[in-house]
Structure 1
């Protein structure tokens, strides 16, 4: 939730939203939900 998303809402008054980052972190090497690759043997 960004500061812009909290603007003019009651949630912005709650302390659990203090000191939150105001930008979305960059996602690296994401190929999309449809292209997720799972290694079924990783836990063996």
Structure 2
């Protein structure tokens, strides 16, 4: 499923662009936040 050009429930690699739109790599942006919340790479944005 795609909403606004963002793929939902797609597994995001650590070196992929962050889906939040910051332009940073996922590992430098939202990875730690999602791991703290109990997520394992799939992200719903």
TM-score, normalised by the number of residues in structure 1: 0.27
Higher strand share: 2
- TM-score under structure 2 length normalisation: 0.27
> Is the helix fraction higher in 1 or 2?
1
Which structure's CA Rg is the greater one? 1
